[in-house]
Structure 1
Amino acid sequence: MKELLQGYPVVTEIPVAWGEMDAFSHVNNVIYFRYFETARIDYFRDIDLMEEMKQTGIGPVLGETNCRYKMPVTFPDTLYVGSRVSELKADRFTMEYAIVSKKLGAITTTGSATVVMFNFKTNQKATMTPELVSRIETLEARVLLEQPVA
């Protein structure tokens, strides 16, 4: 599984629950956004974003999110959700996700999200702190260091 998620610095393991399946006997499309959310929060923990939000009142909100379904997932299974930041701007960043099924041994789903920084005290967009940008760049650089040399 690890080779399928090369380039993703944060990998979240999620067991598929029976109740996540729908009448067509596969995981319902809405559930994938929960999987992405779980992976996003793991990424945020790794860059101490939630701690920074407690101190500054500035934190993340979703501006946009999407999902591409490649193959159905069914119970029982274990999923590995890779998350990374692919683009940084002054007030936002783009996250990308890939979901790998342990049972199928393949990427079943991909997605992305635009995360906008928001000042919850003033109800306005905010810019990212230099420290946050640095933590994201450091986490992403870790993946580059782990890549095998061709």
Structure 2
Amino acid sequence: MRATYIEDVQQWVEEFQFSVDVKVRFSETDMYGHLNNTVPFTYFEFARIEYFKSLGLMSEWASTNGDNIPVVADLQCDYLQQVFFDEELQIYVKTAKVGTSSIDIHYVAKNDKGHPVFTGRGTIVQICRQTGKGTPWTEQEKQLLRGK
């Protein structure tokens, strides 16, 4: 793998614990039958939201009465293998680093043979709905995000 955010590939992959399943739909492919290069970003979003739900973070963010919301500050994808219509993938998500009001999230998608087909990373920032400024994570949120 050539992604700069991955130092030791085997260790990096082994650290993932959360995943969701997706099946490549026909509408997500191009005229050659392989996954359009924009679609992994929607898979990342789906997996990230399910990950946040599993941590109990989405309830406030999704509430119209909540003070804070998560925003994507950056997102990248590194393509390793072609993916085709009707393939079943597992999209893995983990928190790689917790900052004051941001987190670095990493992703890996594996095919049904367990081979990585694309990887990714992105920065998510928790902001105040009213001010648009970063809101620091509470200690409890930091513990959840660190998996402790």
From 17, 24, 29, the equivalent of 2:25 is 17
Aligned: 1:97 with 2:101: no
Aligned: 1:39 with 2:47: yes
Cα-to-partner distance string for 1:66-107 (whole Å, 9 max, x where unaligned):
0000111001211000100011111100000000011x5410
Aligned: 1:131 with 2:137: no
The 4+ residue runs of structure 1 with deviation greater than 4 A are: none
TM-score normalised by the chain length of structure 1: 0.83
Following superposition, the deviation at residue 56 of structure 1 comes to: 4.0
Where is the helix percentage greater, Structure 1 or Structure 2? Answer: 1
Distance 2:97 2:13 in 1: 18
Q: How does 1:1-150 map to 2 (within 5 A)?
A: 6-53=14-61, 54=63, 56-102=66-112, 104-137=113-146, 139=147, 141=148
Structure 1: any 5+ residue segments left out of the alignment?
142-150
Give the partner amino acid of 2:28.
Answer: E
Distance 2:85 2:68 in 1: 38
The match for 1:146 is none
Distance 2:136 2:67 in 1: 12
Q: Is the 8 A contact 1:80 1:99 kept in 2?
A: yes
TM-score normalised by the chain length of structure 2: 0.84
Count of residue pairs brought into register by the alignment:
135
Identity %: 24
Distance 2:66 2:49 in 1: 18
Give the partner amino acid of 2:137.
Answer: M
